[in-house]
Amino acid sequence: MIPAHLLAWERCERYKRRHEPDAARATSEIRSETLRKWQTEWANESNGGWTRRLIQDINLWRGRKHGLLDFHITQLLSNHGCFGEYLHRIGKLDTAACVDCQEQVDDAEHVFFVCGRWWKQRRALEVEVEEDVSPDNIVSIMVEKRSNWEAVVRFVNLVQSTREHEERVRQRLRGRMSVIFFCTPKAEVRGVESSLFC
């Protein structure tokens, strides 16, 4: 979606040029200028570096003829989701490391493009789309044709669904372990008293 301040600028420009003989051409020129300004702002923005790396050309992204965003594709594009780095940053995990390969930073780039746990699925995706996937080309591959979009969606959904399920299992186990620890007689925990913590 075009940022609000650019839409406001565009509407002001359309209002100023409303009496021109070829209003359709003026509207088209103004929209082109709006999109040019947006691309310039996008390229120079300091926030959202991961998303900007994936979606380098907003016109390519906006002009796609297929592809709805779902929960997991949004996680790929935003780097917010079931990733150690993100969960650590928001205080849900003690470490940002990958639980599968112990790489220090578990983020969207690591999960979808590097982690050895998913190499077979990643390779199957590359065979299906007939190209090696990387953060720098994944979006252009997706928008090229519907079958590519669907292949990427299947890959991302498989990876993230599996990771989310496994993280829920780990959380339940951590919860049980803390209940076991806090409900164990102190004598067993500290070797001092026999009263219970809970």
- 180 alpha-carbon distance from chain centroid: 36
Residue matched to tokens 């983020």: 107
What pLDDT does residue 171 have?
85
Both structure tokens of 56: 């380098």
Report the predicted TM-score, pTM, of the whole model to 2 decimal places. 0.80
pLDDT class of 177 with cuts at 50, 70, 90: low
CB 60 within 8 A of CB 67: no
Tell me the C-alpha distance between 190 and 132, whole Å.
Answer: 55
Both structure tokens of 38: 């947006």
Q: pLDDT, tens digit, for every residue of 66-77?
A: 999 999 999 999
Tell me the C-alpha distance between 32 and 29, whole Å.
Answer: 5
The domain segmentation of the chain, as residue ranges, is: 4-44, 67-186
- For residue 92, pLDDT over 80 is answered with yes
Q: What percent of the chain has pLDDT over 90?
A: 81
